[in-house]
Amino acid sequence: MPELVVTALLAPSRVTLKLLRAFMWSLVFCAALLTAAVYGCIALTHVLCRPRRGCCGRPRRTPPACLSDPTLGEHCFLTLKSSGLRLHYVSAGRGNGPLMLFLHGFPENWFSWRYQLWEFQSRFHVVAVDLRGYGSSDAPRDVDCYTIDLLMADIQDVILGLGYSKCILVAHDWGAVLAWNFSIYYPSLVERMVVVSAAPMSVYQDYSTHHISQFFRSNYVFLFQLPWLPEKLLSMSDFQILKTTLTHRKRGIPHLTPNELEAFLYDFSQPGGLTGPLNYYRNLFRNLPLEPQELATPTLLLWGEKDTYLEQGLVGAISSRFVPGRLEAHILPGVGHWIPQSNPEEMHQYMWAFLQDLLG
C-alpha cells in the first residue's frame, strides 16, 4: 500500500490521539492549580501556627545515627552502566542466597526497608537502594532524567552490576510502580515479586477513570506536576507537610521515632533534595493513555485495608490482568499504606511462605 495512502488512513487516529492528550493535559493543569491552592493554604496554616520555624526547611547538617546502623548492612555505591550515575545502596547477607532487591517509595529512602534487611539477610543477599534522585544517589535536576524507561534501566543495571542474572524484587509505593513495569519489560530478570501498596500504571489509569474517588485520594499527584512550587510548599514550616504525612496518627507510620523521621527528612533538607523525587511524578502523564498489559511474574501483593491513598478496588483490577495462578493477594485488615514499616511481622510471614520453595 502506498505510503501516502497509509498516512491518510492513520491521520484521523493521530489527530484524535493528539486531541485526547491535549484534553487530558488541560484537566491535569486545572487540577494542579486547584490542589496548589489547597496545599498552599495548608502550608500557610502551618507557618502561622509555628512562626518560629519560618517559611523554609531547616537544612540538616548531620545525618541521624540510625542511618549508619551497622546491623542493617554495608553502605556501597554502584556506577550504572547505562547512565554513568552512581547509586547508593545498603547490602547485607552477601553469599547467603538469591538477590533480594528493595525499591522504596516517596517520601522515603533505603531506610524504609530496615526491618526487611534485618529479617532476610540470613537467607538472601538483601540490597536496599536509594533510587535515582534520592539520598546519597546521584540526582540529576532535569525532569527528562526521570522517565520510566530510564528508571527501569537503573534497576537492570543494579541487578547485573551486582553480579546476578535475576532477583526477587520487593517494592513499595513508587518503587512498586517501577517494579510492575520492570516485570513486564524485563521478565527474565525477575524471579519473584513482592509488591506493597501500588498498582501498575495502566491499571491505575483505567480504574481511576471509572472511580473518580481515586483521583481525590491521589490529589497530591496533580500538585507535583507544577515546577518549583511543590518543593516550596513541602519545605515550609520545616517540612511540616512531610512530617504530617509520615507521622499522622491515622495516616502515617505508627511508632515512628524522631530519629527515624529525621532519617527521611535529612536527605530532603539538602539543597535540591526534593526536586529529584518530585520529578518522578512530573513524568507520570507523559505516556498516557496506556494500553492494558498482561501480568505474568509470580507476585505476592500486599494491600492495607485502611490505605489512605489507594482504594481496595485496585486489588481486584490488578487481579483481572494477571495470568491465572500467578498472583497471591492479601488485604491486611486495619492496616494503612506503610506496611513495610507499620506491619513488618505480617509482611514477613507472607513473604517467607511465598518464597519457601526457593530456599530448598
Contact (Cβ atoms closer than 8 angstroms) between residue 322 and residue 295 = yes
Edge to edge, the sheet with strand 74-79 lists: 74-79, 86-92, 125-129, 99-103, 167-172, 190-196, 299-304, 327-332
Signed CA dihedral, 247, 250, 252, 253: sign only:
positive
Q: What is the CA radius of gyration of the chain?
A: 21
β-strand pairing of 167-172 with 190-196: parallel
Q: Tell me if residue 196 falls in helix, strand or coil.
A: strand
Tell me the C-alpha distance between 335 and 343, whole Å.
Answer: 8
Kindly list the structural domains of the chain, giving each domain's residue range(s) and its CATH number in brackets, ordered by start. 18-359 (3.40.50.1820)
Tell me the C-alpha distance between 57 and 240, whole Å.
Answer: 9
* DSSP classification of residue 70: G
The amino acid at residue 317 is A
The amino acid at residue 326 is R
What's the whole-model pTM score?
Answer: 0.94
Q: Scanning the structure block, which residue is given the C-alpha cell 507535583?
A: 224
Closest CA to 72 of 109, 118, 116: 118
Tell me the C-alpha distance between 295 and 209, whole Å.
Answer: 21
- Whether 173 sits among the annotated catalytic residues: the reply is yes
Residue 162 grid cell: 551486582
Contact (Cβ atoms closer than 8 angstroms) between residue 86 and residue 77 = yes
Catalytic residue among 89, 266, 281, 309: 281
Catalytic residue among 173, 206, 267, 307: 173
Contact (Cβ atoms closer than 8 angstroms) between residue 177 and residue 153 = no
Catalytic residue among 88, 104, 172, 337: 337
Residues in the chain: 360
CA distances from 145 to 83, 231, 277 (A): 10, 18, 11
Signed CA dihedral, 223, 31, 140, 280: sign only:
positive
Residue 230 grid cell: 511543590
**Around Cβ 350, how many Cβ atoms within 10 Å?**
17
pLDDT in the model for residue 4:
63
| Peptide bond between residue 107 and the one before it cis (omega within 30 degrees of 0) | yes
CA distances from 246 to 18, 112, 116, 205, 336 (A): 39, 11, 19, 26, 12
Q: Scanning the structure block, which residue is given the C-alpha cell 480504574?
A: 207
The residues facing 332 across adjacent strands are 304
- Whether 337 sits among the annotated catalytic residues: the reply is yes
Long-range CB contacts for residues 31-40, cutoff 8 Å, separation at least 24 = 31/215, 31/219, 31/222, 32/222, 32/223, 32/225, 32/226, 34/222, 35/219, 35/220, 35/222, 35/223, 36/223, 36/226, 36/229, 36/233, 38/219, 39/220, 39/223, 39/230, 39/233, 39/241, 40/233
Tell me the average confidence (pLDDT) per consecutive run of 10 residues in the chain, 360 residues long: 57 63 78 94 93 87 96 98 98 95 98 98 98 98 97 98 98 98 97 98 94 94 96 96 96 96 97 97 87 93 98 97 97 98 98 93
Residue 248 grid cell: 499522622
